[in-house]
A = this chain, B = another copy of it.
Amino acid sequence: MIRVLLVHDVCLVRSVLAEWLRRVSDLTVFDAEWRGASGSARSLRPDVCAADLERVDSHEMPPLGDLCGRGTADPRLLVLATARRPGLLRRAFDAGALGYVDKEGSPERLVSAIRRVAAGERFVDDSLGFGFLRAARMPLTSRELSVLSLAAEGASVAEIAGSLHLSNGTVRNYMAAITRKTGARNRVDAIRISQGEGWV
Please give the residue numbers on chain A whose beta carbons come within 8 Å of chain B beta carbons, in ascending order: 10-13, 15-17, 19-20, 56-57, 80, 82, 84-85, 101-107, 109-110, 151-156, 184-193, 196
Contacts and interface: CB of A to CB of B under 8 A. Distances in A.
A103 B13 CA distance: 8
For the complex formed by this chain, how many copies does it contain in all? 2
Nearest to A57: B84
B186 A154 contact: yes
Contact of A154 (B15, B80, B185): B185
A184 B154 CA distance: 8
Given A154-B192, A156-B185, 14 more contacts: A10-B104, A12-B80, A12-B106, A12-B109, A13-B17, A15-B107, A16-B16, A16-B20, A16-B107, A56-B82, A151-B188, A152-B188, A154-B189, A156-B186
B11 A104 contact: yes
Q: Which 10 A-B pairs have the closest CB atoms?
A: A154-B189, A12-B103, A11-B104, A16-B20, A10-B103, A16-B107, A57-B84, A154-B185, A154-B192, A13-B13
Given A104-B11, A106-B11, A192 B16 contact: no
A106 B12 CA distance: 5
Given A151-B188, A188-B152, A16 B15 contact: no
